[in-house]
Chains A and B, each alone.
Chain A
Amino acid sequence: MPADAPPPSDGTTDDESVAIRTSGLTKRYGDDVLAVDDLDLTVYAGEIFGFLGPNGAGKSTTIDVIMDYVRPSAGSATVLGHDAQAETRAVHERVGILPDGYGLYERLTGRKNLEYAVALKGTGDDVDDLIDRVGLDSAAADRAVGGYSKGMTQRLALAIALVGDPDVLILDEPSSGLDPNGVRLVREIARDHADRGKTVFFSSHILSQVEAVCDRVAILDRGRLVAVDTIAGLRDALDTGSTVTLTVDAVPDRLTLGEVAGVDDVAVDDRTIRVRVAEAAAKVDVIDRVRDDGAAVLDVAIAESSLEDLFSAYTGGSPPDRDGPDAAGASLADADGGA
Chain B
Amino acid sequence: MAASGIRPTIARKEFGDALRSRVVWGIVAVIAVMSSLSAALPLLVPEAGGGPEAAIGGASQFAGLLVPIMALLAAYLTVVGERESGSLKVLLGLPPSRGEVLVGKFLGRGGAVVLGIASGFAISGVVTAALYAELPVVAFLATTALTVLLAVSFLGIAVGISAVTATRSRAMTLAITAYLGLTLLWDLAPNGVHLLVTGDLPGTAVPAWFLLVRGLSPTGAYNALVQRTLLGGAATDAALGGPSPAYLDPAVFLAVLLAWAAVPLVVGYGAFRRADLS
- A-side residues, CB < 8 A to B, are 29, 60-61, 64, 67-71, 88-89, 92-93, 95-97, 99, 101-107, 116-117, 119-123, 157, 160, 163, 335, 339
Interfacial chain A residues near B10, Cβ < 8 Å: 120
| A102/B20 contact (C-beta < 8 A), A97-B93, A122-B95 known | no
Closest chain-B Cβ to A75's Cβ sits at a distance in Å of: 15
Q: Which residue of A lies closest to B104 (CB)?
A: A120
Q: Which residue of A lies closest to B2 (CB)?
A: A122
Which residue from A69, A106, A123 sits with its C-beta under 8 Å from B92? A69
Assembly CA distance A60 to B96 (angstroms): 21
Interfacial chain B residues near A122, Cβ < 8 Å: 1-2, 5, 95
Q: Which residue of B lies closest to A332 (CB)?
A: B86
Q: Is the CB of A102 within 8 A of B1?
A: no
Q: Which of B160-168, B242-250, B270-278 lies at the interface?
A: B270-278
Interfacial chain B residues near A119, Cβ < 8 Å: 2, 5, 9
- B-side residues, CB < 8 A to A, are 1-3, 5-6, 9-10, 13, 17, 20, 82, 85-97, 274, 276-278
Q: Is the CB of B90 within 8 A of A92?
A: no
Q: Which of A61, A97, A117, A122 has the most CB of B within 10 A?
A: A122
Interfacial chain B residues near A163, Cβ < 8 Å: 94
Can you name 15 A-B residue pairings with CB atoms under 8 Å? A60-B278, A61-B278, A70-B277, A89-B3, A93-B95, A97-B89, A99-B89, A103-B82, A103-B85, A107-B17, A107-B20, A117-B90, A119-B5, A121-B2, A122-B2
Closest chain-B Cβ to A76's Cβ sits at a distance in Å of: 16
Q: Is the CB of B89 within 8 A of A101?
A: yes
Q: Is the CB of A67 within 8 A of B90?
A: no
Main secondary structure, interface of B, reads: helix
Q: Is the CB of A103 within 8 A of B94?
A: no
Assembly CA distance A315 to B200 (angstroms): 74
Which residue from B2, B20, B97, B278 sits with its C-beta under 8 Å from A70? B278
Assembly CA distance A71 to B90 (angstroms): 17
Q: Is the CB of B94 within 8 A of A69?
A: no
Interfacial chain B residues near A67, Cβ < 8 Å: 89, 92-93
Q: Which of B1, B2, B94, B276 has the most CB of A within 10 A?
A: B94
Q: Is the CB of A339 within 8 A of B87?
A: no
Interfacial chain A residues near B87, Cβ < 8 Å: 102-105
**What 10 pairs across the A-B complex have the smallest Cβ distances?**
A122-B2, A103-B86, A103-B85, A339-B278, A97-B93, A70-B276, A99-B89, A103-B87, A102-B86, A120-B94
Interfacial chain A residues near B278, Cβ < 8 Å: 60-61, 64, 69-70, 101, 335, 339
Which residue from A70, A104, A120, A339 sits with its C-beta under 8 Å from B95? A120
| A120/B86 contact (C-beta < 8 A), A70-B276, A93-B95, A339-B278 known | no
Given contacts A67-B89, A99-B86, A99-B93, 4 further A-B contacts (CB under 8 A): A29-B276, A89-B97, A103-B88, A103-B90
Interfacial chain A residues near B276, Cβ < 8 Å: 29, 64, 69-71
Which residue from B9, B82, B85 sits with its C-beta under 8 Å from A120? B9
Interfacial chain A residues near B92, Cβ < 8 Å: 67-69, 92
